[in-house]
Amino acid sequence: MGKKVVIIGGVALGPKVACRVKRLDPTAEVVVVDRDQHISYGGCGIPYYVGGDVADIEGLQSTSAHVLRDSRFFAGAKGVEMRVRTEALEIDRERRVVHLRSLESGDTSELAYDELVLATGAKPIVPPLPGVELPGVSVVANLNHAEKIKTAISKGQVGSAVVIGGGAIGIEMAEALTDLWGVSTTLVEMQPQLLPAAIGPDVARVMAVHLREKEVDLRLDTTVTKILGDPEQGVTGVETSGGEIPCDLVILSVGVRPNSQLAQAAGLAVGPTGGIQVDERLRTSDPRIYAGGDCVEMTHLISGEPTHLPLGSIANRHGRVIGTNLAGGTATFPGVVANFCIKIFDLGLFTAGLTEAQALAAGFDPVSTVAAQADRAHFYPSQDMMVMKLIACRKTGRVLGVEAFGPDGDAVKARVDSIAVLLPHEPTVADISNLEVAYSPPYASAMDIVNSAANALENTLSGRHEPIDVATFLELFDTEDAKVLDVRSAVQAGPFVAKYGDRWQNIPQEELACRIEEVEAADKPLYLICGSGPRSYEAQLLLRQKGIANTRNIMGGVKMLKSTDPDFLPEA
C-alpha cells in the first residue's frame, strides 16, 4: 500500500489536496475528515446563494460540469474517502494518529497517518454581546447558516435586518438582503470606515456613498452593545452607541479567526495572527504535517509581516502545492501581496498591497495619487469611469499598493491585477509609468490609467505636482473659506459658479495663459479642479510659472468629488 494521508477539513483546501495527491500518486490512501455533512463547496458563494444569484445550494457543491461533489463522487471519481460528520479531537504526533469522534454515533476511533494536512479553515468571531444566542441571530460561515437565513427570508419572515461588521462578508450580505429581497438593511461598523484592512478612508468613503445610494442604512463609528429580543419571539432589534435599531434578523460578520486550536493543542507553532505557521512548502513546525488555506498565516511580501488572508483562491493554490509536496514534489508558496476584490452593488472594488496606513506601520513613507479615467479610448462610444489610487514610498519610489474601482469590474481587475502581480518584484513608479498593458480603443486608452496614475505620482514625487485629496479639500472648503479655480469649460463649471459664487472661479485651461491676470494670488492656497485632474495639474504648472505657487490640485477632480460627496455638486 501507498502512504496514508489524512486531511482534516473538507471544504476548499482539503478536497483540492486530496485530488492532487491522488492524481500524482494513485497508491496513496487518502482520507478526508469533516464535521459537516456538506463538503467541497464554494464558501465564497454563500452571499450569492442568500441573495438569490445562486438558486440552489447544490450549485455551490457541484463541479463546473454540474456533478455534485458528495462522498460518493469523491470515492468513485477521485478514489478519496470522505468521512463526514466526523470530528478530529486530537492529534497524537508521537504515534501519528488522529483521534476521531463520529457526530452520528458518538463513537471514537483512531486514524493513522504518514502525513497529515490541516485544512481546518477559519471560524467566524462571535462577539460577546448580550442576546447573541437569540433565534434570528446568525453568523454566515457555512451552508447550514446560509440555508437557515435564506429560508427565513424566502418565507417572508424578515422585513428588516441588521448586519454587524462592514468587512467583505458584511457588505456582500447587506447587498444580498437589500438587492433581491428588499429587506430593509442596516450595516453597522465600529470603525469610522468600511474595509480598513483593504482600502484607505478616501476610497472607503466612496463605497459608503454607494451603499447608501443603494438604500443600505450604513452606520459607521457605531458600536453594537446588545441584541434585543427574547427566546420565544427571537430577535427584535439591536442596541447601539447610536440608538436602537429594530429588526427581525441579525447577521454577525465581525471577522474570522484561523481555526488553529487542534494544531496548537498538538504543539505546532501558531503565529501572532492566530494562524498556523508554515514554511514556503506549507509545512508546519512538524515536517509530517502540512497546513494551508484559511487556518494558516502567510508572509506579506511587501511588509514582510505575517498576515491572515482567508480566500478561496489561496486555499485552492495552497491545495495544489501541498498535494504536490505530499507526492514527493517540491512546490512552494512564497507569500501574498493581499490582492483583494469585492463587488459592491454597481461597483467593482480591487486592491492589492498596502494601504497608506499599513505602509506607514510597516516603516515606509507613503505618498499617493488618485487618477480618474475612462476604461476605453475616450472616442469609443461606450465607456465607464475608473478611479485608481496608487501608493508609493516617497524615499525610494517603490510602489506599495493600489486601490481602484469602477462600474466595469472586469476592466478594473485588468488594471489592478497587472500591478498586483508585479508587487513582489518591487516595481518603481517609473516601471508602472511604462507598464506594457494591452491597448486597443475598445479596451483601453492609449495612455491607460495604470500609466497615467503612475505619471501623476511621479510628478508628485518630483515635487512638480502639489495635490490634495478630495476628502481633505472638502473639509478645508468648509473651514477655510477656500477658493477654487475650475479650469473646465464654462458650460461644465457654470452650475458650480452659480452655487458657490465668488468662491468658485472659472477659466478654461486652454484660456488660462491669456487670462492669467484674472487669477488673484492669496495667502491661502488656491484649489484647482477639472474633470479628473490632468488639466488642473497643467494649470498648477502654469500658475507657478507666473508666480502663483500656493495652489493645490484636487486629485480625481469633479469625478472623485461626485463619488465622495454627491451633495457638494450643484443639482443636475
Smallest separation (angstroms) from a second copy to the CB of 283: 16
| Cα-only R_g, the chain | 27
Q: Is the distance from CB of 193 to CB of 204 less than 8 angstroms?
A: yes
**C-alpha span between 492 and 60 (Å, rounded):** 49
Q: Least distance in Å: CB of 137 to a second copy?
A: 26
The torsion angles phi and psi of 441, rounded to 5 degrees, stand at -50, -35
- C-alpha closest to that of 29 among 72, 102, 81, 69: 81
DSSP state of 240: E
Q: Which is nearer to a second copy, 112 or 490 (CB)?
A: 490
To the nearest whole angstrom, how small is the minimum distance from the Cβ of residue 80 to a second copy?
Answer: 11
- C-alpha–C-alpha distance, residues 228 and 241, integer Å: 14
| Shortest Cβ 180–a second copy spacing (Å) | 11
Q: Min. distance of Cβ 465 from a second copy in angstroms?
A: 10
> From the CB of 27, what's the least distance to a second copy, in Å?
9
What separation in angstroms does the CA of 569 have from each of 225, 491, 492, 512, 566? 37, 14, 11, 24, 6
Q: Cell 508602472: give the residue.
A: 432
User: 90 or 384: whose CB is closer to a second copy?
Assistant: 384
What distance in Å separates the CA atoms of residue 491 and residue 433, rounded to the nearest whole number?
A: 33
Whether 370 contacts 560, CB under 8 Å: yes
Is the separation of the CB atoms in 99 and 92 below 8 Å? yes
530 is catalytic: no
> Cell digits for 563?
463619488
Q: Residue 306 gets which letter from DSSP?
A: E
Exposed/middle/buried for residue 331 (C-beta within 10 Å: 0-12, 13-18, 19+): middle
Question: Out of 44, 247, 393, 530, which one is annotated catalytic?
Answer: 44
Catalytic residues: 44
